[in-house]
Amino acid sequence: MTAESTAMAPVARPVVNRPKLRPGWITIAGKEFADHLLSVRLYVILLVLGVAAVVPLFFAANYLHSAAAVVNELAAAGQLRAVFLALFTIQPQGIDLGPISFTVQAFVAMAAPLLGIAFAFDSVNGERHEGTLPRLVSQPIHRDDVINGKFAGGLAAIALALTIVVLVISGYGMVSLGIMPSLDEIVRLVLWLAVTILYVALWLAFGMLLSVVVRRAATSALIGFGAWLFVAMPFIGPLLLGLVGQYLAGGASTQAEALGTLQWLQRLLPGTVYSEASAALLNPSATSVSYSDIYSSQAAQQISSVLPFDKSLEIVIPQIVLLFALTVACFVVAYIRFMRQEVRA
């Protein structure tokens, strides 16, 4: 502390013209997106989704063919049902699959989460393992650019993959079956695609959370696939919850009440929430997603009404909000944990 001491002012240096930085997350998202598009994973999953889409379509095609003629008559009579959307919701004829749904819609619900898990399970711990994380965060970016960029890149890749799948199915419908979608159907399909992307984003955020919290990529992959089996496979999670529901509903006084309990339990699984939204959006005649409502309306009388898409959307707003909230929650937890972690391995 001498008199001639100088203050810690910035040191005068020859001025180097530094280039303007662009937000780090954009660069990272771009790299992640490119990585995903070139990854083997994407093609494996597209193959799975493709098979998932084509197999039911193949079996349903004959039926749709004959239905198309009928539908055109109905359309002429002004009693149009959503035939184009039937591409996604129709059960193949002549095959008894028991309780398992064999529609495009059901297959997408089952397989799409894989896309999210596959793109995220090693996003952070993989970088740690490879030793690229310290190098990455020592570039002129904020630390959250890493996790934001990875999420954005993954989301873009997912949106692209799902859009391609939907376009392929639609194209098949239009070209080979000669069915044209109505405007209402197009809007429904776009909404359904958006909700599906949101659902996969939830899995992406979940996978990212795992990759932040779990040190080893193999472990986070295993946990991710375990969660997927439980939530998305109809014969595991839903079945278990169904059993619990039946036990709990034993004391219920009415059938409607018992169904209510069961549904409440099933809704603990995000897969159920998505399926409800998906069903209402793809099926204009679904007037409610509540089991007990459906039950009582069936009991009262079979009303066959067709809703415009905005009414269907209204029905599933709670489901969409719930999926969105879950996605945000997973991402926020992953974000906070990542920001607090040490950089070093």
Partner 1 sequence: MTVSDRRVARKGRARQRDQERAPIDPSALIVTRRLSKRYDTIVAVDHLDIEVRAGEIFGLLGQNGAGKTTTILMLLGLTEPSSGGARVAGFDPARNPIEVKRRVGYLPDAVGFYDGMTGRQNLRYTAKLNGLSGAAAEAKISEAIEHVGMSDRADSKVETYSRGMKQRLGIADALVKDPEILILDEPTTAIDPIGVIEILDMLRALVRERGLAVLLSSHLLAQVQSVCDRVGIFAAGKLIGVGTVAELADQFGEESARIEVGFEGLEPGAYAETSKTLGSIPGVSSVLPPSSPSEPFVVFTQPRDATAKAREELIRTSLAKGLRLSSIREVAPSLDDIYRRALQATGLAGQRGAAA
**Is 159 in a helix, a strand, or coil?**
helix
Q: Which stretch binds partner 1 (CB under 8 A): 61-69, 124-132, 272-280, 296-304?
A: 124-132
Which of 37, 55, 137, 307 is the binder for partner 1 (CB under 8 A)? Answer: 137
**Is 124 in a helix, a strand, or coil?**
coil
CA angle 212, 207, 244 (to 5 degrees): 120
Pick between residue 87 and residue 157 the one whose CB is nearest to partner 1: 157
> CA-to-CA distance for 107 and 55, rounded, in angstroms?
10
Pick between residue 141 and residue 201 the one whose CB is nearest to partner 1: 141
CB 41 to partner 1: min, Å: 12
Told to check if 343 binds partner 1 by CB under 8 A, we report: yes
First to last CA, the chain: 39
Q: Which residue has the tokens 């910035």?
A: 10
Which of 93, 130, 239, 240 is the binder for partner 1 (CB under 8 A)? Answer: 130
Pick between residue 134 and residue 171 the one whose CB is nearest to partner 1: 134
> CA-to-CA distance for 71 and 63, rounded, in angstroms?
12
Contact (CB, 8 A) for 56 and 92: yes
Q: Of the candidates 99, 268, 255, 85, which has an alpha carbon nearest to the alpha carbon of residue 177?
A: 85
Told to check if 4 binds partner 1 by CB under 8 A, we report: yes
Binding mask 138-177 for partner 1 (x = CB under 8 A): xxxxxx----------------------------------
Pick between residue 138 and residue 302 the one whose CB is nearest to partner 1: 138
Pick between residue 10 and residue 99 the one whose CB is nearest to partner 1: 10
CB 216 to partner 1: min, Å: 16
CB 37 to partner 1: min, Å: 13
| Residues ≥6 apart with Cβ < 8 Å to 230 | 236, 237, 269
Told to check if 81 binds partner 1 by CB under 8 A, we report: no
Q: Which stretch binds partner 1 (CB under 8 A): 1-9, 150-158, 230-238, 245-253?
A: 1-9
CB 338 to partner 1: min, Å: 13
Contact (CB, 8 A) for 290 and 263: yes
Told to check if 339 binds partner 1 by CB under 8 A, we report: no
| Residues ≥6 apart with Cβ < 8 Å to 87 | 57, 60, 64, 104, 169, 170, 172, 173, 177, 179
**C-alpha distance from residue 329 to each of 123, 267, 333 (Å):** 18, 17, 6
> CA-to-CA distance for 124 and 139, rounded, in angstroms?
16
Other beta carbons less than 10 A from residue 127's beta carbon:
19
Per DSSP, helices labelled H in 173-308 are 183-213, 217-232, 237-248, 255-266, 270-282, 291-300
Pick between residue 31 and residue 337 the one whose CB is nearest to partner 1: 31
Pick between residue 36 and residue 188 the one whose CB is nearest to partner 1: 36
Pick between residue 131 and residue 251 the one whose CB is nearest to partner 1: 131
CB 18 to partner 1: min, Å: 6
Told to check if 100 binds partner 1 by CB under 8 A, we report: no
State which of positions 16-45 bind partner 1 (CB under 8 A): 16, 18-22, 24, 27-28, 31
Interface residue list for partner 1 (CB under 8 A): 1-2, 4-8, 10-13, 16, 18-22, 24, 27-28, 31, 130-132, 134-143, 342-345
